[in-house]
Amino acid sequence: MGIRGRDPRPDLLMTAHQDSARETHGNSIHQPVMLDRTVELLAPALERPGAVLVDATLGMAGHARAFLARFPDLVLVGIDRDPDALAIAGERLAAFSGRIHLVHAVYDELAAVLDELGIAAVSGILFDLGVSSLQLDRAERGFSYSKDAPLDMRMDKTSPLTAERILAEYSEAELRRIFWSYGEEKLAPRYARRIVERREASRLVRSAQLVELIEAATPAAARRTGHPAKRVFQALRIEVNQELAVLERAIPAAIDAIELGGRIVVLAYQSLEDRIVKQVFAAGAASTAPSGLPVELPEHRPVLRLLVRGAEKAGAEELAANPRSAPVRLRAVERVRRAA
């Protein structure tokens, strides 16, 4: 096993996080979403000799561990931007150390990661998008509006941009844009204006301060549709981690990386992510032949085949056992044609 990436120092990735890794081994904290369905969809590609699976959002390795146990010859490339997650995954996957490569990177760096490892093409790729259980359950990371914490929200704590910096430095127009674009927040102008007014007196540094400001700025009628801070926190998290921009680069890179017959499964948890995945997959599964062409030439045939109709949701049994699976939307494709 190796841990590679932007900061591979063992003191950062292992020693400093061993206690937290031990605390989060239990399934009560880490329960992989739609695990059986994910295994079922990727299995035809992973049963081949020499199969390589990329878990592009490794997290605490719940999915990865199941795949390694199910396919005894499988090689795993696990990518994550969170050093804490990599430390935990390293311990959870210790029994498979001869078949794994753990890499500290963002998943749009997929091509560079594979190139560094000398892997030309892979059999399967899994994306389990959004904020992880580890990040949500660590109050000090600042992802949750229900727990007071510093306004951080970085998935990679070595990155410079935090939610606090955004709230302190972005213009009112920029704040309005991210609240609307990434949170689909109808009250974006009101919230942006109140934040700018507030920071003239003092900087927002904790999540409870932001929640209090949003609650005070929200009309009573608007509070009936859920917690008023939910969409603002989502928007800030997406901006801090550049999640949508990363995803827009990562899905085409994944399609380029899989071999003929290789498969990709994506688990998305909000509509903005799912829309990107849907559009890229749909384009790859469509013919590029000009309208009216009597015969479809081989170079115009679809590159992908859709493996599920629309987006699949978690079943009732999983919802009861794992409430965090409620918003998930699963999409999957198979590569059916090589690039021209």
Q: Are residues 234 and 276 in the same domain?
A: no
Q: Are residues 94 and 49 in the same domain?
A: yes
- How many domains does the chain divide into? 2
pLDDT of residue 130: 81
Mean pLDDT by 10 residues, the chain (340 residues): 45 34 42 94 96 96 96 97 92 95 97 97 95 64 83 90 97 97 95 97 95 93 80 95 96 97 96 96 86 70 94 93 91 89
Residue 188 lies in domain: 139-241
Q: Which helix (H) or strand (E) holds 104?
A: strand 100-104
pTM of the model: 0.86
Q: Are residues 51 and 28 in the same domain?
A: yes
Q: Are residues 146 and 183 in the same domain?
A: yes
Q: Are residues 110 and 250 in the same domain?
A: yes
Q: Any idea what the CATH number is for the domain that residue 169 is in?
A: 1.10.150.170
pLDDT of residue 135: 60
Q: Are residues 222 and 302 in the same domain?
A: no
Q: Are residues 231 and 175 in the same domain?
A: yes
Spatial strand order in the sheet of 329-335: 3-5, 100-104, 75-80, 52-55, 122-128, 258-268, 329-335, 304-306
Q: Are residues 167 and 222 in the same domain?
A: yes
* Cα 248 to Cα 232: distance, rounded to the nearest angstrom: 22
pLDDT of residue 333: 98
Torsion of CA 39, 314, 249, 140, to 10 degrees: -100
Which residues are annotated as part of the binding site for S-adenosyl-L-methionine? 61-63, 80, 107, 128, 135
| CA dihedral (247, 248, 249, 255) positive or negative | positive
pLDDT of residue 199: 95
Q: How far, in Å, are 89, 153, 309 from residue 55 at the CA level?
A: 11, 22, 23
Which residues are annotated as part of the binding site? 61-63, 80, 107, 128, 135
Least Cα distance to 88 among 102, 71, 98 occurs for 102
Q: Are residues 121 and 158 in the same domain?
A: no
pLDDT of residue 27: 39
Query: Beta partners for 103?
Result: 4, 79
